[in-house]
Amino acid sequence: MTPGGRPLRVAVVGAGYWGPNLARNFASSVDWDLAAVCDLDLARAHRVADPLGGVRALSSLPDLLSSDVDAIAIATPARTHHPIAMAALLAGKHVLVEKPLADTVRSAREMVDAASMNSLVLMTDHTYCYTPAVSKIRDLIADGRLGDLLFIDSTRINLGLVQPDVDVFWDLAPHDLSILDFILPGGLHPDDVSAFGGDPLGTGRSCLGHLMMPLPNSVMAHVQVNWLSPTKIRQVVIGGSERTLVWDDLNPQQRLSVYDRGVDLGRDASGSGSRRVAAQVSYRLGDTWSPALPEREALADMVSEFAAAIRGRRPALTDGHAGLRVLSVLEAASRSLANAGRTERPEHMGLVEGRP
């Protein structure tokens, strides 16, 4: 909490799977007073609110929006994000939205515009971005420790539940895309997107797949997602001209490894032709380094950032534009998938506003 300031008042809308986590973190934050939990199912709202002590449970969104809360946090199904967020923004409330920001780019853009016009904070809950590992990766890239980026591979595979309403891209890739958006300076802006999915069990939706995303400066980004893998892998490899980073999220003893290895290409060569290449490539085989990471809960840092953005009258680290960029890629991926892997350009996202 800013010294001297009172805590901000917030309500959580949606008491299903994720809402209770948000409620618990708001309740234990010095930056926030959790004022209410709102759910169409009042009993469910009570089950979340009551154990937290002095938190109101209610089932009417209008009643909530006419109360004196400063902000609302939306943890309802994706298709309801837009109407709830629009109502809240029009009522002058700051808004935090569980990922994905909305179910279409069009809806998300309206939300971003509404927040902008009303000078309100619209934040996307890209929780992973607030983990110590992802923070560290972002800093290493920003500080130039990896040099120029060369390639990115993000793998998220597991034996997972086949979802009834979304394919594996919409279920798993938002995590990878939100992370890429966070760590890439300027955010995720692929030149285009190609998606390849597999549905070998005949479920009617992709159960495994790959996204190919050429980024500016000839950087190739690849995301692999799979519900049918017997082994669990959550790994991101970021190749750089100076160093290469491997994040293995399932290895608590060495989550991040930074390899001081790489290939150098002589740039000033006067020779030409194919022989020139091999002659001028040189290898570095330097040390490997695994930075220590603090133990912090990502969700606690995320709600702090929400408060800090409101107080500082600045965009949140994972603002509405971040959510919009992730959605644009997902929609382009769906179009590509419907066209057998044809490259699709993500919808133009205008200037990159609001990046801190």
Contact 37, 23 (CB under 8 A): yes
Query: Of the ranges 37-45, 199-207, 314-322, 326-334, which one interacts with a copy of itself (CB under 8 A)?
Result: 199-207
Q: Which of 7, 33, 80, 199 binds a copy of itself (CB under 8 A)?
A: 199
Secondary structure element (H or E) that encloses residue 246, with its range? strand 244-248
Check binding of 222 to a copy of itself (CB under 8 A): yes
| Ranges within 160-179 binding a copy of itself (CB under 8 A) | 161-165
Taking the C-alpha atoms of residue 319 and residue 181, their distance in angstroms, rounded to an integer, is 11
Instruction: Determine how many CB atoms are found less than 10 A away from the CB of residue 39.
Output: 24
Q: Which of 17, 202, 348, 351 binds a copy of itself (CB under 8 A)?
A: 202
Question: Does 281 participate in binding a copy of itself (rule CB under 8 A)?
Answer: yes
3-state SS, residue 345:
coil
The b-or-e profile of 71-103 (16+ CB within 10 A means b, else e) is bbbbbbebeebbebbbbbbebebbbbbbbbbbb
Length of the chain: 356
Asked if residue 209 binds a copy of itself (CB under 8 A), the reply is yes
Residues of span 251-270 touching a copy of itself by CB under 8 A? 253-254, 259-263, 265
Instruction: State which of residues 3, 62, 185, 200 lies at the interface with a copy of itself (CB under 8 A).
Output: 200
Residue whose CB is less far from a copy of itself, 151 or 300: 151
Determine if 291 is a binding residue for a copy of itself (CB under 8 A).
yes
The span from the CA of 300 to the CA of 121, in Å, is 18
In the complex, the smallest distance separating the C-beta of residue 195 from a copy of itself, rounded to whole angstroms, is 10
Q: Compute the least distance from the CB of residue 57 to a copy of itself, in Å.
A: 19
In the complex with a copy of itself, which residue's Cβ is closer, 73 or 183?
183
Report the residue from 17, 292, 348, 356 that binds a copy of itself according to the rule CB under 8 A: 292
Q: Residue 40 corresponds to which tokens in the numbers above?
A: 């169409």
Distance CA 175, CA 153 (A): 13
